[in-house]
Structure 1
């Protein structure tokens, strides 16, 4: 058979695939180990730079040590296995691979290695015949041809390294992001040939920094220290008309902050915080004259129908008035204005007319609301913290009506007249009173679905009225058993939201028949007769009583005479 046999070449190909997969495993493991070594070294050198703040020479040494370590790890752990993958610098033989493969597959054990060694020996170099050797190798080949040697490579080592690789990456990243100064130290390490000024032991964080305030306002300046607390802290201030800074020592409060409170500031100034040759940024507080409302006058004009007179308020922007009232506003400012407007709580805006320091305008009371007066001067400065004024809207109540008589269903009198007595009242007056009626039942025509109206005249300028109205139904040409339904409806004089109305209960009046009229007449006659009889009887009884009294008096006179 010999080494040129196709069986032998096939075994070598299977072993080559096995060896290459082993090198792939080695390369993956090497990449992880190389990155662990490089990242861990970089993090360690960065930490050294953070603590020691090295000069450029020492940082150069650390940087090139890191470079040497990186190149060495790359060459030994990645590049060398990669070259051996392509059969360069490969020291092991297929016999070594066969030996390792036999250990993974018990069915082969050492048989594959032994058979390969027999085949590769020179003729005459062993005591077995060539045919016997070929038969033995063929037997081993038959056992190995279905086996894929590369399946023995499980990448176990790469899997075991992976958790360490992830842990080192996360730990290094957290150190760089969370430890103060690590990112700066890494930047200095990368830029090894540059000199860096050592960071200060602490820095100031100052509020409010640059600011604008209104003349006469108070201001609180606060300095917080980030880093090692200094022994003492000063605030340096210089007004715009001063040449030198004035230094003021500040004591830290319980929270470790340094506060400087300035009241009634009248002029702009510059300032900074300092301690132990360390200074904050230079800040400036600019004092400006914001426009202010100097005088305020409101003219409140209720709706004409209410009869309420106009009222004037000075320096009071709160409004309590009837819905529909017109509010005229006039104000003067401490500065010339370019714009002025009313900003309402419901986001609506009312622009005011501006003339130098004066502004005027108007709005209508429609609901409960609130507003602010906004002013903008020629320097585009606006008034700060404007007062919020409240608007309370008063609602016009519904009118009241009471039908006093008749307050029940009645038959129509012979004269076709019905007397209506009612009382109406409203808080601001009335616009009209209607008598609404319709034919609701009849034997001679269909009932009416719609009401007709008669307007009853009212006395003007009164809020409470007694109504006495005689309703003549003759024009309706009613027949016997016709029924008319009616009610009164009063309207107030609210012409802003629309007149509101109130109705009485509905009642009916019915035309009686002739028999009912005659029966009523008989009943009236009988009742009158009974009343006359009762009257005569009472008169007779009264007569008898008087006679008895007269007899008693005469008797008493006789007794007095005898004595």
Structure 2
């Protein structure tokens, strides 16, 4: 039989390669078209959901139509060509394939079709000799030996579809991301079996929400509208001892907010904002009895050297005192306490001792500072917004000394005595006055680098005095042209920061 000819089988193999490449082209085009159908239908149905905000039943129908279109496109445009690629469900004959292939190769077309026609007509009852059929296919084989039929398939259709597919994808994604509500509509469409509440025309943003206030405090309740402004807004309140909610109509202020100011609140209450059947969350203001300072007494005890008497302040926590002063605090609270402490601005803490509602303690003034008194009651409630008290530290000044006479270099008298007259002053008194001296020039003795000291007694301890002292230099055994350098140094009595001293100018005696 002619179909047993090896030349016939070679031609069929060439045509089969042509058919397979055609189907690959069809499959690639079909995948793109199927995705176009899926994306376009999903975007279209999402747009319908965005416009109509449908219920679950209608969204189910839309999703079913989307799946039907997508699956149908998948089957017709992708799966069917794939089956035909594997020779399933093929209806066309090799003669029809040869006619398509022959259009691309005119030099082969007639011989190829004539040869294929011999085989086709043989099956319909017209008999040709095997030698004739074999010779025909041999002639076609020789003519097409260097030709690949599948080279005629160029994938032009797939390339033309690709820009439309990419464009549709970009447009669909932009619609979902840019158009307000489209992404939510897509989510509702995917979750077709859920019921979604239509978003309200506006929502309330209410402050302070749930909060606690101290009994007797004022409170400001505000509401801002996000969305389309309503015509009327009500604050709806119910105190803990009332059965029903009370409505209060509120007008906007200059900032566009709705505000309600309540003075001297005594009882806890619940509240929410309402308008056009749209309500905010239900909030609660809880009124608590926070601990308050009922009585405050400060005893300020300056350092003993200052001789300043103790002072007592009532209901005033501000302190102005000399550095080193001890400040004793005694207070009573409106409630029994579990904790009380002083919180300073430099982050230090001073705990107070407690008995029931009484707290006491002390601190020492070291520098300018400030502090708050923090209280915690047995219900773990703390005093809110405690007062900040100021600590002003007073600094002890340096003592002042002036050598009145002699206030220049002098020769030593024959009696080896030098009369010194000095005036000293300090804001809180003195601890000692010293005469410092050394041998600074001599022909016979080694010079002294360290000063020797003589303490001059201070009989009057007033804040400002004059001191008259006769310095006998005889024990120094000075020789001719020996020079002694000297000065006076006064020390105050500040034992907190350490005694501070001041010196006079240095003078010489020869």
TM-score, L = length of structure 1: 0.73
Q: Deviations over 1:463-510 (max 9, x none)?
A: 112122222223233333333222222111111111111112222233
What SS class does the counterpart of residue 309 from structure 2 fall into? coil
Q: Residue 128 of structure 2 aligns with which residue?
A: none
Q: CA deviation at 1:264?
A: 1.3
Q: CA deviation at 1:198?
A: 5.0
Kindly indicate whether residue 138 of structure 2 is the aligned counterpart of residue 171 of structure 1: no
Question: 1:107-118 counterparts in 2 under 5 A?
Answer: none
Q: Residue 329 of structure 1 aligns with which residue?
A: 329
Do the aligned partners of 2:297 and 2:329 also contact (CA within 8 Å) in 1?
Answer: yes
Kindly indicate whether residue 453 of structure 2 is the aligned counterpart of residue 449 of structure 1: no
Kindly indicate whether residue 153 of structure 2 is the aligned counterpart of residue 162 of structure 1: no
Q: Deviations over 1:311-336 (max 9, x none)?
A: 11111111111111111111111222
Q: Deviations over 1:58-88 (max 9, x none)?
A: 2221110111223234445555666677777
What SS class does the counterpart of residue 411 from structure 1 fall into? coil
Distance 1:341 1:261, change over 3 A: same
Q: Residue 383 of structure 1 aligns with which residue?
A: 383
Do the aligned partners of 1:401 and 1:425 also contact (CA within 8 Å) in 2?
Answer: yes
Distance 1:186 1:444, change over 3 A: same
Distance 1:13 1:192, change over 3 A: closer
What SS class does the counterpart of residue 316 from structure 2 fall into? coil
The whole-number CA distance in structure 2 between the counterparts of 1:137 and 1:269 is 97
Q: Residue 367 of structure 2 aligns with which residue?
A: 367
What SS class does the counterpart of residue 410 from structure 1 fall into? coil
Kindly indicate whether residue 395 of structure 2 is the aligned counterpart of residue 392 of structure 1: no
Range with greater deviation from structure 2 (166-175 or 258-267)? 166-175
The whole-number CA distance in structure 1 between the counterparts of 2:189 and 2:232 is 34
Do the aligned partners of 1:213 and 1:287 also contact (CA within 8 Å) in 2?
Answer: yes
Q: Deviations over 1:377-398 (max 9, x none)?
A: 1111111221111111111111
Q: CA deviation at 1:120?
A: 8.5
Kindly indicate whether residue 287 of structure 2 is the aligned counterpart of residue 291 of structure 1: no
Do the aligned partners of 1:337 and 1:377 also contact (CA within 8 Å) in 2?
Answer: yes
Larger radius of gyration: 1
Two-structure CA RMSD over aligned residues (Å): 4.2
What is the total number of aligned residue pairs between the two structures?
Answer: 489
The whole-number CA distance in structure 1 between the counterparts of 2:448 and 2:46 is 102
Do the aligned partners of 1:324 and 1:366 also contact (CA within 8 Å) in 2?
Answer: yes
Q: CA deviation at 1:212?
A: 1.3
TM-score, L = length of structure 2: 0.80
Q: Residue 469 of structure 1 aligns with which residue?
A: 469
Question: Mind listing any 5+ residue stretches in structure 2 that lack a counterpart?
Answer: 1-5, 119-130
Do the aligned partners of 1:337 and 1:378 also contact (CA within 8 Å) in 2?
Answer: yes
Range with greater deviation from structure 2 (163-172 or 307-316)? 163-172
- Work out which structure has the larger RCO, using CA pairs closer than 8 Å and 6 or more positions apart in sequence: 2
Q: Deviations over 1:376-425 (max 9, x none)?
A: 11111111221111111111111111122222233333333222222111
Kindly indicate whether residue 483 of structure 2 is the aligned counterpart of residue 488 of structure 1: no
Range with greater deviation from structure 2 (260-269 or 229-238)? 229-238
Q: Residue 351 of structure 2 aligns with which residue?
A: 351
Question: 1:167-206 counterparts in 2 under 5 A?
Answer: 167-175=171-179, 178-179=180-181, 183=184, 185-196=185-196, 198=198, 200-206=200-206
Question: Mind listing any 5+ residue stretches in structure 1 that lack a counterpart?
Answer: 103-109, 511-563
Q: Deviations over 1:118-151 (max 9, x none)?
A: 99889868999979985x767779xx9xx9x999
Q: CA deviation at 1:239?
A: 1.9
Do the aligned partners of 1:24 and 1:85 also contact (CA within 8 Å) in 2?
Answer: no
Q: Residue 423 of structure 1 aligns with which residue?
A: 423
The whole-number CA distance in structure 2 between the counterparts of 1:5 and 1:367 is 110
What SS class does the counterpart of residue 418 from structure 1 fall into? strand
Question: 1:19-38 counterparts in 2 under 5 A?
Answer: 26=29, 30=31, 34-35=34-35, 37-38=37-38
Q: Residue 121 of structure 2 aligns with which residue?
A: none
